[in-house]
Each structure stands twice: as C-alpha cells, then as structure tokens.
C-alpha cells in the first residue's frame, strides 16, 4: 500500500508522461512507465465491479457467462484491440435444492433433527424427489478408503480429510488444497464403484464459517454421476463426534440437472506487435465462476487484471515486438473446454505461441513472478522484478510444473509458462463459496497484479532474443 501511494505521488510531480511506440523497448524506463500507469487508472476496478456486481455468477451454460463474454468483448474492443470470439460448447449443469439433516444418532431427543449445510459438487446427480436417507460411513481419506470400501454399500460416505490452514498461511495453500482435495477429486467415483448411496466431502478450505465449498470432481468413464456434495467443516466435525458413540443417519435432498451443452466463447483480444506480430505472448484468466457467488477472486481478479494489460498499453500507446494476446478462458471450473478448444485451434501453430501467462490463484498483493522455464533463462527475468520493486513484487521463482490449468496443455507442448505470485493466505477461506464477492478484493492489490502482468507480458513480448522451449510433465 505504501509503495503504491509513493508511486502515485511521484507521477503527480512530473509535468507529463507521453509514451509512444518509439519509447526505448524493454528499457527500465519503459517498464517503469507501465508499472506506474496502473495506479493512474481505475479501469480494472470498474471492470471487476461490472463483472461481479452487474453480471454476477458465471457458471458455464448460464446467462451470466454469456453476459460476461459480451461485456469483456466490448471492453477490449473499445481499447483498440483486435478481438475475436472462439466458439466453445460447454457443460450446462444447474444447481437445484440442497438440504440435509442428521436424523438419527445416539441420544437424539424425540422429534428432533439437526440440519447441516451442504452444497452439491459440480456434475452431481440428483437424489430421488423424496430425498435419500442412509447411514453414514466415515472415511478419513483415500489412503484409508481401500480398507473401508467393503462397508460402503448403501451408505452415505463422508470423507473427512482436513485442510491445513497453517500451511496456507505460510505460502503453501495450493499444495494443501491439492492434498486435502483428493477425496473430493477422486472419492466420489471410488465410492460409487463400491455401491455407496452418495458421498459427502468435508469442505476443502481454510476459515470455517459454516460455508460449504463447491467444486468439481473426476467421474470415471465407466461410472455415471450420483449424488455428491460438500459439507461445511463444522457439520463434518459434528457428525464425527456423534459417530463416536454410535451409528449416525442422514437425510439429504439434491435436485441438480445436467442439461444439453451450451454455446460459449473464449474472448481473444490481440494487441498487435510492431515487428513480429505472428508471435504471441498470452496473458490470461478464466471468465467463468461457480454459481454460489460472483467470482471476484476466482477468477474475476485474474481475468480482469489480464485484460487490463491491454488497457495500460493502449493508454501508453506501446506496442511490443510481438503480439500480446489476452484470453478470457471459458469453462475452466467444470470442464476445461475453453483451453481444449484453443489448444486444438493452434496445434499447427505451436511455434507461434511464444509464452503463456495465467493468473488464477491468490486474492492479495503481487509478490513476484513464478516461471516454468529452463534454469538458464531464469536470471534473464531479473529486469522484470527490478521494475516491480517499487510495489514489492520482487520474488522470482522457478518451477518444473504447470502454473495454470488453462495454459497447462500449452506448457506440456513446450510453451514456457508464467504466473503472478500473489499473496494467498486467505484465498481458500472464500474459494468456491458464497463469500467470493467483490469486498474481498482490495483495489491496491488489484493494481499490483495489473502492474505485474503488464510488465511481465511486455518484457517477454519485446525481448530481442528467443525464449527456450520448456515442457512440463503431463
């Protein structure tokens, strides 16, 4: 916050800043001008507010996603970018009623039941119209599952794997999410194969405010979907405590529907390069969101920050050597069909995909850059973090892994991948919940992300040399 305020005062003390295509390419002054220009504009905040407050939730197949595509197309076209819409057929799953209660346990008073908070996972099937009543089988995680699978037939399996908030608060939130989320990702198909009646998964997230966290699950090809939901952490704990004294029975009702695939689009906006326009540096985020809230942090912040790269360069009238391609991906949350369609369209043009950047993790200030590149190339990114020093984004980290789900296919094909490193200690408090709303985003943090993406994208697009190809493992 202090560094951003200082930059604004610094700019205000100058008579003017007029940059054009003749400005020294990739120089410290040019990258500094890009960085500083982000604090002069509320464009990103205004666009994020429109996306979240005016459009709202944007699950694939919904009117909200269609409206978001139109808004982002119009916004980027108005900046002077060359905009195209890439048609994608996406899943259309609609959430219905979601109710559950603990109806039997040792010591239950006559006539009493205890309601619990659940939300269906994406792609869940419905229960019968009368609901489903069954005893609960508690399973800690997938390591314990093989020893308990024979007990699952006819029962509601409750996976109780816990998210470690301490890890999240020390910068390991994503790793912890992937670890604690294994029962959500792979448990339902395993339980279905064992004859379970349904699955409940302890919500994968940090702070426990009795908010269930939705999300996707992986259905095996030979296993049709069946009823599966996330349960609030407090209610999962309650069932565990009650089960220590004897059997627990739950009644649950889910009424989701899977409708025919719907038409959606990737929004692609090119800020055309001045010398090598056929070569592309992608900067991107996903436009869809889950339906419980308005998707401010997942991934409104990322997709709008990426679009704002075009806005900053348009305002400064700066064109790099290569084309900077903004992509608002569709259907990241429950299918990934947006990036699959793009990958199919560029299969014979992979050499033109110079670099790919994605922002889809974190809700705080930018801390630096994560790069999936060769070890020899990493030091060449030092000018980027030097330019970002006034806003505190000074960390440069190398990885051998994918840095974003929508650019993962490109990375596996050898396209170097990049992501802004964002403060994320409380990201999983709100992730995939009804609390993912605009108030969770600080305007100064949004600006720091725009600055990081814009400086990085311009540097890569304007660098005179070649960027070594780097494949991540499948």
Residue 39 confidence (pLDDT): 84
pLDDT confidence bin for 19, thresholds 50/70/90: very low
Predicted pLDDT of residue 207: 78
pLDDT at position 23: 33
Q: What's the 3-state SS for the chain?
A: CHHHHHHHHHHHCCCCCCCCCCCCCCCHHHHHHHHHHHHHCCHHHHHHHHHHHHHCCCCCCCHHHHHHHHHHHHHHHCCCCEEEEEEEEEEEEECCCEEEEEEECCCCCCCCCEEECEEECCCCCCCCCCCEEEEEEEECCCCCHHHHHHHCCCCEEEECCCCCHHHHHHHHHHHHHHHHCHHHHHHHHHHHHCCCCEEEEECCCCCCCCCCCCCCCCCCCCCCCCCEEEECHHHHHHHHHHHCCCCCEEEEEECCEEEEEEEEEEEEEEECCCCEEEEEEEEEEECCCCCCCCCHHHHHHHHHHHHHHHHHHHHHCCCCCEEEEEEEECCCCCCCHHHHHHHHHCHHHHHHEEEEEECCCCCCCEEEEEEECCCCCHHHHHHHHHHCHHHCCCEEEECCCCCCCCCHHHHHCCCCEEEEEECCCCHHHHCCCCCCCHHHCCHHHHHHHHHHHHHHHHHHHHCCCCCCCCCCCC
Average pLDDT over residues 59-81: 98
Q: Taking the model in full, what pTM does it have?
A: 0.93
CATH of region 2-92+260-462:
3.40.630.10
The pLDDT tens digits for 292-307 are: 999 999 999 999 999 9
Whether the per-residue pLDDT at 280 is higher than 90: the answer is: yes
What does the pLDDT read at residue 179? 94
CB–CB of 435/293 below 8 Å?
yes
pLDDT at 256 over 80: yes
pLDDT > 50? residue 12: no
- pLDDT tier for residue 223 given thresholds of 50, 70 and 90: confident
Reply yes or no on whether the pLDDT at 465 is more than 60.
yes
Please check the confidence at residue 83 and state whether its pLDDT lies above 50: yes
Closest CA to 280 of 319, 325, 213: 325
Give me the pLDDT at residue 26, please: 53
pLDDT at residue 25, rounded to an integer: 45
Tens of pLDDT, residue by residue over 110-168, are 999 999 999 999 999 999 999 999 999 999 999 999 999 999 999 999 999 999 999 99
The string of pLDDT tens digits covering residues 368-380 is 999 999 999 999 9
C-alpha distances (whole Å) from 112 to each of 47, 101, 102, 115 are 48, 10, 9, 10
pLDDT band at 6 (very low <50, low <70, confident <90, very high): very low
For residue range 304-347, what is the model confidence (pLDDT) as tens digits? 999 999 999 999 999 999 999 999 999 999 999 999 999 999 99
Weakest mean pLDDT among 1-15, 121-135, 411-425: 1-15
Task: Please determine, for residue 248, whether its predicted confidence score (pLDDT) is greater than 60.
Answer: yes
pLDDT band at 221 (very low <50, low <70, confident <90, very high): confident
Spatial distance between the Cα atoms of 314 and 153, rounded to a whole number of angstroms? 61
Lowest mean pLDDT among 25-34, 194-203, 254-263: 25-34
Task: Given the residues 332, 333, 358, 402, select the one marked as catalytic.
Answer: 332
State which CATH number among 3.30.70.1400, 3.40.309.10, 3.50.30.30, 3.40.190.10 fits the domain covering 96-254. Answer: 3.50.30.30
Question: How high does pLDDT run on average in the chain?
Answer: 93
Lowest mean pLDDT among 26-35, 398-407, 433-442: 26-35
Listed by start position, the domains of the chain span 2-92+260-462, 96-254
Instruction: Check if 332 is active-site.
Output: yes
Q: Is 386's pLDDT higher than 50?
A: yes
348 pLDDT exceeds 50?
Answer: yes
């Amino acid at each position: 916050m202090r560094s951003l305020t200082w930059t604004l005062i610094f700019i205000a003390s100058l008579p003017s800043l007029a940059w054009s295509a003749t400005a020294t390419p990739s120089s410290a002054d040019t990258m500094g001008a890009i960085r500083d220009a982000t604090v002069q504009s509320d464009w990103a905040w205004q666009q994020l507010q429109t996306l979240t407050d005016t459009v709202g939730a944007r699950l694939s197949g919904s009117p909200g996603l269609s409206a978001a595509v139109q808004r982002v197309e119009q916004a980027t076209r108005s900046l002077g970018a060359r905009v195209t819409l890439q048609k994608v057929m996406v899943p259309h799953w609609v959430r219905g009623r979601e109710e559950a209660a603990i109806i039997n346990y040792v010591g239950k008073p006559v006539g009493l039941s205890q309601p619990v908070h659940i939300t269906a996972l994406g792609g869940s099937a419905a229960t019968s119209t009368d609901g489903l009543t069954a005893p609960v089988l508690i399973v800690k995680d997938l390591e314990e599952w093989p020893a308990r699978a024979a007990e699952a037939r006819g029962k509601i399996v409750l996976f109780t794997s816990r998210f470690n908030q301490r890890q999240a608060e020390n910068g390991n939130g994503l790793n912890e999410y992937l670890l604690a989320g294994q029962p959500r990702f792979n448990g339902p198909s395993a339980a279905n194969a064992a004859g379970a009646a349904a699955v409940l998964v302890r919500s994968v997230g940090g702070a426990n405010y009795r908010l269930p966290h939705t999300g996707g699950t992986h259905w095996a090809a030979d296993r049709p979907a069946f009823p599966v939901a996330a349960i609030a952490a407090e209610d999962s704990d309650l069932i565990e405590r009650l089960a220590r004294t004897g059997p627990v029975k739950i009644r649950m009702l889910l009424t989701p529907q899977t409708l025919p695939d719907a038409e959606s689009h990737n929004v692609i906006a090119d800020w055309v390069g001045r010398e090598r326009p056929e070569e592309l540096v992608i900067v991107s985020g996903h436009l869809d969101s889950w339906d419980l809230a308005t998707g401010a942090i997942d991934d409104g912040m990322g997709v709008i920050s990426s679009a704002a790269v075009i806005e900053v360069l348009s305002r400064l009238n700066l064109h790099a050597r290569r084309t900077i391609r903004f992509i608002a991906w569709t259907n990241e949350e429950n299918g990934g069909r947006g990036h699959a369609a793009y990958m199919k369209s560029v299969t014979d043009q992979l050499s033109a995909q110079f670099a790919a950047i994605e922002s889809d993790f974190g809700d705080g200030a930018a801390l630096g850059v994560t790069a999936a590149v060769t070890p020899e190339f990493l030091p060449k990114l030092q000018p980027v973090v030097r330019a970002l020093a006034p806003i505190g984004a000074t960390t440069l980290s190398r990885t051998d892994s994918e840095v974003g789900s929508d650019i993962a296919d490109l990375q596996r094909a050898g396209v170097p991948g990049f992501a802004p490193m964002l403060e994320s200690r409380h990201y999983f408090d709100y992730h995939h919940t009804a609390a993912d709303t605009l108030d969770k985003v600080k305007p100064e943090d949004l600006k720091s992300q725009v600055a990081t993406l814009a400086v990085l994208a311009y540097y890569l697009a304007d660098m005179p040399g070649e960027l070594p190809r780097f494949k991540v493992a499948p």
